C-alpha cells in the first residue's frame, strides 16, 4: 500500500529542488554576465536563459504545458531580484569575479536539474533512455546557452573536465534507484548529492578527460 504522505513529500522536494536549481544557474549566469561587462538588462537575460533554458526544452520535448516557469511565475521575479541584489553587492564590494563564481553554482545546478529532469520524465511515462536524455538536457543546456551569450566556447565541450558525463551519471543513478523501488524523494536527493559532489571534486582536483588527438 502506497503511503499517501509520500506523493506530497515528493512534490515538496521537487519544488524545493527546482527553486534551488533555478537560483544556482541564475547565479552562474549573472556572474558570467558581470565578468564580460554586461548591463543590468543583459545580466538578467543571461541569468534567465541559464536558469530556464534546459528546463524549458525538457518541457517542450515532453509536451508539458504550461512550462514550469510559466506555471510558477514567482521564479521569474526571483531571478530578477537575485540579479539586482547580486549586482549591487558585487559592485559595492568590488569582489573579484573568478571562474569559481560560475563553476560552483553551476555544479550545484547540474546535480539538481539532472535528477529532477530525469524524474519528471519518468513520471511522464518516458522510457529509460529518454528520461536520462531529459536529465542531461535539463542540466546542461542552460550552461551552454550562458557561455554562448557571453561569447565563450561552451565549457561543457571545451575544458575537458567531466560535465555532461556527470549529468548522465546523476540521471542513471536516479533511474537505477527508481527501478530498485527506492522512495522517490530519497532517490531524488541521492542522485542530486552524487552528481553535485562529484562535480565539485572534479573542480577541486582539476580532473580532466584526455583530449581527442586526430
**Do residues 62 and 124 make contact, with C-beta atoms less than 8 angstroms apart?**
yes
Residue 37: its H or E element: none
- Each residue of 31-48: pLDDT tens digit? 999 988 899 999 999 999
Say how far apart CA 20 and CA 23 lie, in whole Å.
5
Confidence of residue 93 (pLDDT cuts 50, 70, 90): confident
Of 27 and 6, which is predicted with more confidence? 27
Give the pLDDT confidence score for residue 122 in this predicted structure: 95
Of 97 and 110, which is predicted with more confidence? 110
Give the pLDDT confidence score for residue 98 in this predicted structure: 80
In the chain, domain spans: 5-205
Residue 122: its H or E element: helix 100-123
Categorise residue 64: left if φ over 0, alpha if ψ from -120 to 50, beta otherwise. Answer: beta
* Residue 54, φ and ψ in degrees, nearest 5: -65, -45
Say how far apart CA 214 and CA 211 lie, in whole Å.
10
Q: What is the mean pLDDT of the chain?
A: 90
**Do residues 145 and 57 make contact, with C-beta atoms less than 8 angstroms apart?**
no
Say how far apart CA 165 and CA 167 lie, in whole Å.
5
Give the pLDDT confidence score for residue 140 in this predicted structure: 95
* Residue 38, φ and ψ in degrees, nearest 5: -70, 155
Say how far apart CA 92 and CA 52 lie, in whole Å.
28
Evaluate if residue 1 carries a pLDDT over 50: no
pTM above 0.85, yes or no: yes
Which one-letter DSSP state was computed for residue 211?
P
- Would you state the cell numbers that stand for residue 96, as one nine-digit string? 573579484
Amino acid at each position: 500500500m502506497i503511503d499517501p504522505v509520500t506523493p506530497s513529500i515528493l512534490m515538496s522536494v521537487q519544488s524545493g529542488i527546482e527553486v534551488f536549481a533555478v537560483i544556482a544557474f541564475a547565479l552562474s549566469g549573472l556572474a558570467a554576465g558581470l565578468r564580460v561587462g554586461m548591463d543590468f538588462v543583459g545580466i538578467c537575460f543571461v541569468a534567465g536563459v541559464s536558469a530556464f533554458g534546459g528546463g524549458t526544452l525538457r518541457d517542450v520535448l515532453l509536451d508539458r504545458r504550461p512550462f514550469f516557469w510559466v506555471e510558477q511565475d514567482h521564479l521569474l521575479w526571483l531571478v530578477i531580484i537575485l540579479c539586482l541584489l547580486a549586482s549591487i553587492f558585487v559592485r559595492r564590494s568590488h569582489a573579484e569575479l573568478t571562474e569559481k563564481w560560475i563553476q560552483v553554482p553551476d555544479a550545484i545546478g547540474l546535480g539538481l536539474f539532472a535528477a529532477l529532469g530525469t524524474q519528471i520524465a519518468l513520471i511522464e511515462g518516458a522510457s529509460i533512455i529518454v528520461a536520462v536524455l531529459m536529465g542531461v538536457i535539463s542540466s546542461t543546456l542552460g550552461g551552454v546557452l550562458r557561455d554562448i551569450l557571453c561569447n565563450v566556447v561552451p565549457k561543457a565541450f571545451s575544458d575537458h573536465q567531466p560535465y555532461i558525463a556527470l549529468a548522465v551519471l546523476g540521471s542513471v543513478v536516479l533511474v537505477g534507484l527508481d527501478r530498485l523501488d527506492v522512495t522517490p524523494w530519497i532517490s531524488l536527493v541521492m542522485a542530486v548529492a552524487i552528481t553535485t559532489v562529484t562535480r565539485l571534486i572534479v573542480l577541486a582536483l582539476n580532473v580532466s578527460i584526455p583530449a581527442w588527438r586526430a
